[in-house]
Structure 1
């Protein structure tokens, strides 16, 4: 049994061609099948839609009225299908990403550049925040994915670790005596400490690890950005806990020095978060592929 939509498609084709046989050829159907479909539609609507003559068919007044509406509806459906295909081909659409300032600058920008070069018609919406803020934004549907500091404990999220990072302590010239040999965490916390603010996932990870060793932390400075950590250490206000991979410019130029630890802080990772059980948009899927494929 043909669906009502199929019947209307056949009805429109016959209405345009004014011929059962021509409509059948265009639809790759037999002429009897087309005739049967029109008869079925007329029966369901309880009205005659076509005048049949030896030269062909023509729409009745009622058929002409119906044709206007059905043809418009089918054209709208076709336009919708074409738009869906545009989304699938990534010729239109939007990518909504939540990310912190530091990860955005040091990790995500090259990935965004690659994605934009491949899919220039996709619009970007970037929302900044802390890891916890980004998780809330993700759950509200404001973004498709969030790129965050791990570890994270949230059963509602699907987590894809993408890149390993290392927390280290760095210092300027004033504290170079710390560079003579491996320094214990007990000795580190005796120095003026420069850390991220408490609501930072990075700060929480480092602090929990150090406290697991029975060592308490009392930072001298608590700052809101990774760049400020580097700058405060550069002017010798203390030693800063930073992400090694995001501090290479300072380390390679000898502006700051990595403090050698007798016990290295375990590595962690940066990754992509999405809502568990909720399919990603096609644009988000492609972007995640780029993140996973590219090295830092």
Structure 2
């Protein structure tokens, strides 16, 4: 049985108003058009829906049975349309962002705060994982977007660059005097190095660059977070490879010192990642616009 939804809407309005003319007025239709629609519905269903009275119309028993179900269904449709509109206007919904701990702390926080202030009814879910894990979560639909260390080579993902970052080496007070002159990369790797664990995209980038120069890294200490790199270097356990932009407070307050090298590690980027095949949600677009307002995305 295939009956157009607009016929059911007309039927429900007439039933509630108990009048063709009043129903037509509410629907911004002419009375003949409403009468024609009801007759068409009765023909398609092969039942009589209304009984005429001196004051208007009332539902037949079959009409009442149909009304109870159709009115509920139309109300559910209206609720769905309302929820969709609220989502588009950022009144309700959820935004799931995947991000690493370091990026979350040193880059993402102010944008999360601004987004929450502007869209307080959107529930934020922040998931901390490695770049590799976040890419897998994007593909499985577990998160809406990821903010990752680049480069990422995956044809199914779209990348929007946020900021450039620089990998540098830092030391504590103990090593400061012995490292007064710029070191070559070969000299640097002979020192006790503190580096992120091997699954980190940041570690892999630095290691790949060193290998391109014929230099192999053999770290003395491997850690799971950028904060620990900074703290371990501060207490003179070795020379740490860190992101300069995320170490500014330590450098500014002279808790750590940048180790000068004769050759710099090329800059890399941090960026948004999302599936090419999936349309971004309104909340995702809003969040990207907030970041874009401060940073021209590449």
Please list every run of at least 4 consecutive aligned residues from structure 1 whose deviation after the TM superposition is greater than 6 angstroms: none
Which residue is 2:182 aligned to?
182
Which residue is 1:226 aligned to?
226
Which residue is 1:143 aligned to?
143
Structure 2 counterparts to residues 142-291 of structure 1, below 5 A: 142-177=142-177, 179-291=179-291
Count of aligned residue pairs for this structure pair: 295
The normalised TM-score by structure 2 is: 0.94
CA contact (8 A) 1:111 1:294 kept: no
Q: Distance in 1 between matches of 2:254 and 2:11?
A: 78
Q: Distance in 2 between matches of 1:6 and 1:129?
A: 48
SS in 1 for 2:194: strand
Question: CA deviation digits over 1:61-85, x for unaligned, max 9?
Answer: 2111211111111111111111111
Q: Measure how far apart 1:293 and its partner are.
A: 2.2
Which residue is 1:10 aligned to?
10
Q: Distance in 1 between matches of 2:3 and 2:163?
A: 51
Structure 1: 5+ residue stretches without partners: none
Q: Measure how far apart 1:99 and its partner are.
A: 0.9
Q: Distance in 2 between matches of 1:291 and 1:50?
A: 58
Q: Distance in 2 between matches of 1:274 and 1:75?
A: 35
CA contact (8 A) 2:195 2:203 kept: yes
The normalised TM-score by structure 1 is: 0.95
SS in 2 for 1:29: coil
Give the CA RMSD over aligned residues: 1.7
Question: CA deviation digits over 1:238-290, x for unaligned, max 9?
Answer: 11110001101110001111112221111111111111211122212211222
Q: Distance in 1 between matches of 2:21 and 2:85?
A: 31
SS in 2 for 1:264: coil
CA contact (8 A) 2:3 2:41 kept: no
SS in 1 for 2:254: coil
Q: Distance in 1 between matches of 2:49 and 2:178?
A: 93
Q: Measure how far apart 1:183 and its partner are.
A: 2.2
